[in-house]
A and B are shown apart, each in its own frame.
Chain A
Amino acid sequence: DTEVTQTPKHLVMGMTNKKSLKCEQHMGHRAMYWYKQKAKKPPELMFVYSYEKLSINESVPSRFSPECPNSSLLNLHLHALQPEDSALYLCASSPFRDSTYEQYFGPGTRLTVT
């Protein structure tokens, strides 16, 4: 398996809902990332997990809660979101060893907050 997969592809949620985004990779990569991408903008880093530990949190509001249950799986738990949180949420993974740190992106979850 040479891909990063994400589910769901689309998600519509109200501001009082709780939902989760899921990301999976089976390439043995030891770093995983969450990015947020607004229309016509570059991806914006949210979180980095290295060896299943949170290593970087780019001052993301607490209504976004990441979780890395194992080396292949990354979740993003969503609660009490705002309409401005509507965006494409991208997961990425990277080998993070031997000076190789290419990042490979999943297809993203398009989130709409109503």
Chain B
Amino acid sequence: GENVEQHPSTLSVQEGDSAVIKCTYSDSASNYFPWYKQELGKRPQLIIDIRSNVGEKKDQRIAVTLNKTAKHFSLHITETQPEDSAVYFCAASIRAGNMLTFGGGTRLMVKP
């Protein structure tokens, strides 16, 4: 089955700096890669996703890149703000079955 590894497990940045979270996946058939943000006590919230026919996608301060050959994808957050502090999960999915396999999560702390 699919295995998703996520690094780092914790990340502390100064407000205004950039943050990068990286994930690798094992199954070359995976073709959908979402990122979720989960604040303490809240639901996971889909913040951005990318499909395997696209190399990069951007939405305001958030961008995701995908390298299919190397089987890794990354989340980039620019101009970080204290409200970006949360746990971020990457995930991978093969269309058939629509199952998401999650990475272990990254706790991002943005210091004001």
The chain A residues found within 8 Å of chain B, CB to CB, are 31, 40-45, 48, 50, 55-56, 90, 94, 96, 99, 101-108
Contacts and interface: CB of A to CB of B under 8 A. Distances in A.
Nearest to B91: A42
Given A40-B105, A42-B105, A103 B43 contact: no
B99 interface: yes
A102 B100 CA distance: 10
Report the interface size class on chain B: 20 to 34
B20 to A, nearest CB: 19
Interface of B: 32, 34, 36, 42-46, 49, 51, 89, 93, 95, 97-100, 102-105
Which of B36, B43, B89 neighbours the largest number of chain A CB atoms within 10 Å of its CB?
Answer: B43
A42 B104 CA distance: 6
B43 A45 contact: no
Contacts of B104: 41-42
